[in-house]
Amino acid sequence: MIIRPSLSVFQMDGSVGPMRVLVTGGSGLVGRAIERVVKTESGEREGEEWVFLSSKEANLLSAEETRAAFEKHRPTHVIHLAAMVGGLFRNMRQNLDFWRNNVHINDNVLQAAHEFGVVKVVSCLSTCIFPDKTTYPIDETMIHNGPPHESNFGYAYAKRMIDVQNRAYFQQYGVQYTAVIPTNVFGPHDNFNIEDGHVLPGLIHKTYLAKKEGKPLHVWGSGRALRQFIYSLDLARLFLWVLREYDEVEPIILSVGEEDELTVKDAVDAVVEGFGFKGEVIYDTSKSDGQIKKTANNAKLRKYLPDFKFTPFKQGDQHKRCSI
C-alpha cells in the first residue's frame, strides 16, 4: 500500500509544498557533513525540513522499525547513507556481514520510501563497487561489467543491487530513485578505529599513537595503491545539488579529477608532515594493498557542474586533524 504523505512536494493546485528530507545514517561521516552544510551554508531553504536519522533512533535492519521511522517523519525525499561500512581490512574479514546487512538495510529503506510515497531517494554507493578487471578511467556505465575486487565483494554486490533496484522502481512505478558514487571520503566525524576504519583515519590514529609512544609508524601494504579522496563537506555540497537538481535514475560519480589521484604513500607523507612525526615509517607488505587502483572519471559531474571547486587534499586534511 502506498501511503501518501500529508505534506507533498506538488500540491493539487500545482504549487510546491514543503520538502521534508530524511537522511538515513544521519550521524555518520557524510550525514554530519550534510547537516553542517544544510545548517551553515545553503541554509534550510524555505519549505525544506531536514531529519537526520541515527541508528539509535531506528534499526534499519528491521523492516518494521524502518516503516515506523517513515511513518513518524513522513519524508518526501530521502538521502540514504545508512550502511555497514568499513575499510579494506574489515571488508576482508566480514564479506558475508557486509552483503547481508546492506541488502537488508537497502531493501527496507527503498521499499519504505516507495510505500510512503517518497518522490526522490538519493542513495550512496562507492567506487569500490566497480569491476576489478577493467579499463581506466572507470565511468558510471561500467558498474555491472564484471566481478568486483575479491577483498570487498560482499559490500560491492550489495551496493550494486541499489542500482538494480532503482532501475526497477523506475520501471514499475516511475519514481526517481537514484544513487551517487563517491570515491574515498574523509573529514570530521570519521571512524578512527584502526582495525575497522578507512585508510586516512587509520593513518591519523596510528601516527598520533606512534608519535606519542615514540614508536615506528606501521603502514599496511606497499603504499603504491592509488586513491581519489573527497572531503566530506564537498561531498555534502554535491549531495544537496543531486537532491535538488539531478534528475537521472542512472548514478553519478562524485569525485575529484583523475589528475588528483594520490598514492597511499602520498597520504602517509601528508599525515606524517601534519603531525611533525619524525620516527621511522615501515611499509608492511605482508598486508594487502586491496584494489591497486580504481581511477574514476568525473566527466559526467563536470558536464553538469564545470565550476565546482573541490577543497584541496591538504587543506581538508588539516581541517580533519584539527577536529580529532
Where does this chain bind ligand GDP (CB under 6 A)? 87-89, 128, 184, 198-199, 202-203, 206, 219-221, 225, 227, 264, 287-291
> At its nearest, how many Å lie between ligand GDP and the CB of residue 178?
22
Nearer to ligand GDP, 30 or 264 (CB): 264
Residue 300 · residue 232 · CB < 8 Å:
no
Residue showing the smallest CB distance to ligand GDP in the complex: 221
Nearer to ligand GDP, 78 or 271 (CB): 271
Nearer to ligand GDP, 114 or 218 (CB): 218
Surface-to-core class of residue 303, CB atoms within 10 Å of its CB (0-12 exposed, 13-18 middle, 19+ buried): exposed
> Rounded CA gap, 151 and 181, in Å?
19
Quick one: residue 223, left, alpha or beta (phi over 0 = left, psi -120 to 50 = alpha)? left
Please provide the size of the chain in residues.
Answer: 324
Q: In the annotation, is 155 catalytic?
A: yes
> At its nearest, how many Å lie between ligand GDP and the CB of residue 172?
33
> At its nearest, how many Å lie between ligand GDP and the CB of residue 264?
5
The active-site residue, picked from 136, 155, 173, 208, is: 155
Nearer to ligand GDP, 25 or 75 (CB): 25
Helix (H, G, I), strand (E, B) or coil at 99: helix
> At its nearest, how many Å lie between ligand GDP and the CB of residue 80?
20
> In Å, what is the CA distance from 65 to each residue of 53, 54, 61, 109, 117?
12, 12, 8, 10, 17
Surface-to-core class of residue 212, CB atoms within 10 Å of its CB (0-12 exposed, 13-18 middle, 19+ buried): exposed
CA-closest candidate to residue 75, choices 57, 58, 50 = 50
Residues annotated as part of the active site: 155
